[in-house]
Chain A
C-alpha cells in the first residue's frame, strides 16, 4: 500500500467539533490504513477536545475543482444579485420582511 518512496498513504482529516456541526477539514496525515489514520488523527488533531467525531479520507480519493475553472464555475452567480433579498427595496412603511 505504500508508494515507491515508502510514504504511507496520505489521508485528509475532517473533525466534527461538536454535535450539531458538520465535519470540517483540519489537515492531513500519513497512515498505513484507515484504522491507524483515525488513531493518528485523534492524537494529532484532537489533543484539546477539539472533536467528537473524525472522518479520514484517502487524499487520492478526493476530486477537486481547479482554480482555472473558477470563473466558469463561480462567476455566473455574480449577475444574479436578485437571489439576495437586499436586491428588493421595500416601502419605508414595511420595516421587516
Chain B
C-alpha cells in the first residue's frame, strides 16, 4: 500500500498504475486535474469551429462524416471529464471554470475556420498533432486517464484520415480548389506545431511530469515527429510546406525547420487570439440555452420518483 512520496515514486517508476482510491501526492492530483480537465475542455471547444461547417459540408456524405466526428469530440470530452471526476472534483466546477474563462483549453481552437479546406487541415494537422500527444498518454500512470486515452486514440485516427481525404480531394480538383487547400495548410501549419507547447527549454512542468509518468516525451521531441510525419504526406499530394527553412537533415535523420513565432503562441494563450472571445461566448450561450432542458429533466426525474413512491 502506498503511503509516502517515496513509495509513490517507486511504484510509478516501476510502471505500475495509480487508481482513484490510492494515495497520491497533492501535486500529482492537482496536475492531473488541471491537465485532464483542460484536455476535456479542448475536446468540447473543439466542436465549435467544426460544428459551424456541418450545414455547409459539400456533400451529404461529408456532412454525415463531419457530424460523426463532432459527436466523437463530445464523447472524448465526456470520457475525460469522467476521468477528472475520479480525482475528487465536481463536473459542474470544471464546466464553470471553462465558461468563466478561468480554465484553459487548446489555443488551436482560437483560430478561425475560413473555408471547407480548413476542415481538411484541422482533421489532418490538428487531429494529427493531437494523436502524437495522446498516444503516449495511453501509458499514463493514472489508470482512468490512461483508459480514456486508449478509447480516444482508437477513434482519433478516423478524424485524421477524414481530414487528409478532404485535402486529397481538393488537390485533385481545379486550381481554385488546390489554392484553397494550400491556403488552409499555410494558415494551420504553424499553429499546429504550437500545439505541442513551449520549447523544452521554456517548459515549466516537463521534468516532474516525466518523473510521474504523465508525460513520456518532451514537447520538442513530439513536435519533431509531427514535422517528419507530415512533410511526406504534404509532398505526396502536391502541397508545399509554408516554411522556407524546412529541409531534410541527413546527419540527424530528421527535418530541420524554422523557428516558431512564440510571441503569437503566448499572445493567443493569453486570450488575444482571433476567436478566443467568440468561442467562449458561443459555449456560454449553448450552456444557458440548455438550462431549461436540464431543469426539466430533473423535474421529470423527481416526479417519477414521487409517483413510484
Contacts and interface: CB of A to CB of B under 8 A. Distances in A.
B244 interface: no
Contacts of A10: 85
Contacts of B21: 64, 66-67
B78 A29 contact: yes
B298 A29 contact: no
B102 interface: no
B100 to A, nearest CB: 15
A28 B82 contact: yes
Interface stretch (B87-95, B130-138, B169-177, B231-239): B87-95
Given A28-B82, A29-B78, A8 B297 contact: yes
A71 B3 CA distance: 13
Contacts of A48: 154-155
Interface string B269-309: 00000000000000000000000001001101110110000
Contact of B82 (A29, A32, A43): A29
Contacts of A45: 75
B23 interface: yes
B298 A1 contact: yes
B22 interface: yes
A5 B79 contact: no
Contacts of A27: 79, 82-83, 144, 147-148
Interface in A33-90: 33, 36, 43-45, 47-48, 64, 66-68, 70-71
A32 B300 contact: yes
B14 interface: no
A30 interface: yes
A48 to B, nearest CB: 7
Given A1-B298, A28-B85, A67-B2, A7 B90 contact: yes
B90 to A, nearest CB: 6
B308 to A, nearest CB: 11
A2 interface: yes
B90 A5 contact: yes
Contact of B92 (A6, A32, A67): A6
Nearest to A33: B301
A32 B305 CA distance: 11
Nearest to A68: B1
Interface in B75-121: 75, 78-79, 82-83, 85-86, 90-93
B140 to A, nearest CB: 15
15 contacts: A1-B298, A5-B92, A6-B92, A27-B79, A27-B83, A32-B294, A43-B71, A43-B75, A44-B75, A47-B71, A47-B72, A48-B154, A64-B21, A67-B21, A67-B22
Given A27-B148, A28-B82, A33-B297, 16 more contacts: A1-B301, A1-B302, A1-B305, A5-B92, A6-B92, A8-B298, A10-B85, A27-B83, A28-B86, A32-B294, A44-B75, A48-B154, A67-B2, A67-B19, A67-B22, A68-B1
